Amino acid sequence: MTQIYQASCTAPVNIATLKYWGKRDTKLNLPTNSSISVTLSQDDLRTLTTASCSSSFEQDTLYLNGEPHPIDTPRTLACLADLRSLRAALESKDDKLPKLSTFKLRIVSENNFPTAAGLASSAAGFAALISAIAKLYELPQNSSELSMIARKGSGSACRSLFGGYVAWEMGELEDGSDSKAVEVAPVNHWPEMQALICVVCDVKKDVSSTSGMQLTVATSDLFQERIKNVVPKRFIEMKKSIVDKDFAKFAELTIKDSNSFHSCCLDSYPPIFYMNDTSKKIIKLVNLLNEAAGKIIAAYTFDAGPNAVIYYLKENENQVLGLFNKVFGHLEGWEKAESLKSKFEILEK
Ligand code: PMV
């Protein structure tokens, strides 16, 4: 019987608090600005991937949540080629190593959250895929080095190679060898930080992030201001606010950056709208909360869709969840949540 080699890994979903929006190289997924994210708890949202390979497998295959999925997209192929060449380099130095780089791969991936929910599933997906194959191939590369491979799959995936608070340094080099994720702080640095995920709408977005970014880069004047004069300063300030555990500063920068990113979308020609009326209601609620508290106790951020992530500290949980419950508590998904402490709620279907 031929031997099957196998390894499994999980990767968490990450939500950017300083947004990546714009590519300077679409093939290598090199960004026009550095970004920062907070990785969500693996208990809530994560992808589990098992990679196996054997000389008896006839082709590379990929299963996502039990369904066969194409593996021959340029981005997935780029990731597999990089991983195989790193393994081949190891094999060329040690004759005793099995020639896994020449075997076909079978990849099985599962999300512990609804894939269709419009959350950043591709980030966790590519990060888990790269980590599982790197483990299978026993590659010595560290998380930052592997993040450069994940980046080619989906830009934001590079940040899911780490837990906690993560920066993606845009880099300057044309070959992308300095465009990588690095840890700002581990999750236990700031355990009081909580995230409420508001799934406003779970239908697929009508403008993909890749085409949205290209339109913004090509047509928005505001975007030029954002990448030259706004984000570089914000990148330094947000990292400092995390290291200092300064929630008010972190929240202010997070809110401003979400606003700036969506303004650039609106400034694209033709304009792109990702937020809807429920999203705007959520923004008003967060503003109300902060006004009533007399300080910033909650921050919202929206990606390329209407869903919101609300960051707050544990000490303010009752205030934050209390108000959200009052406004959205009558909705089906909220009632179904096990308790108000649940971090995953469906607000609108
Ligand atoms: O990695 P992509 O191509 O799915 O783009 C992600 C873009 C945003 O989610 C809007 C921002 C970010 O930094 O994650």
Contact 175, 82 (CB under 8 A): no
Residue 38 alpha carbon to ligand 1 centre in Å: 13
For residue 105, give both structure tokens: 């791969």
Which pLDDT value is given to residue 340?
37
Query: Does the pLDDT at position 36 exceed 80?
Result: yes
Which pLDDT value is given to residue 74?
95
Mean pLDDT throughout 304-326? 92
Query: Does the pLDDT at position 342 exceed 90?
Result: no
Counting from 1 in the atom list of ligand 1, the atom nearest the Cα of 122 is 4
Average predicted confidence (pLDDT) for the chain: 92
Pick from 135, 128, 134, 133: nearest CA to 64: 128
Which pLDDT value is given to residue 194?
92
Q: Please state, in angstroms and as integers, the Cα–Cα distance from residue 179 to each residue in 17, 145, 147, following that order.
A: 18, 10, 9
Question: What amino acid occupies position 286?
Answer: V
In whole angstroms, give the CA distance from residue 299 to residue 310: 5
Sequence spans of domains, the chain:
5-188, 193-346
For atom 8 of ligand 1, which residue has the closest CA? 303
Pick from 192, 196, 138: nearest CA to 345: 196
Assigned superfamily of 193-346:
GHMP kinase, C-terminal domain (3.30.70.890)
Q: Is the CB of 151 under 6 A from ligand 1?
A: no
Q: Is the CB of 14 under 6 A from ligand 1?
A: no
Q: Is the CB of 265 under 6 A from ligand 1?
A: no
Complex prediction ipTM: 0.99
For residue 160, give both structure tokens: 């899911």
For atom 6 of ligand 1, which residue has the closest CA? 156
pTM: 0.94
* Side-by-side strand order, sheet with 180-185: 14-18, 35-39, 165-169, 180-185
Q: Is the CB of 167 under 6 A from ligand 1?
A: no
217-246: pLDDT as tens digits: 999 999 999 999 999 999 999 999 999 999
Write 171-175 long-range contacts (CB < 8 A, 24+). 171/30, 174/25, 175/28
Mutate which of 18, 21, 119, 213 for ligand 1 pocket (most atoms within 8 A of beta carbon): 21
93-122: pLDDT as tens digits: 999 999 999 999 999 999 987 665 567 678
Mean pLDDT throughout 130-156? 98
Q: For the domain made up of 5-188, give the CATH fold.
A: Ribosomal Protein S5; domain 2 (3.30.230)
For residue 81, give both structure tokens: 């080629």
Query: Does the pLDDT at position 200 exceed 50?
Result: yes
What does the buried/exposed string (b/e) look like for 42-79 if buried means 16 or more CB atoms within 10 Å of the residue's CB?
beebbbbbbbbbbeeeeebebbbeeeeeebeeebbebb
Q: Are strands 298-302 and 308-313 parallel, antiparallel or unpaired?
A: antiparallel
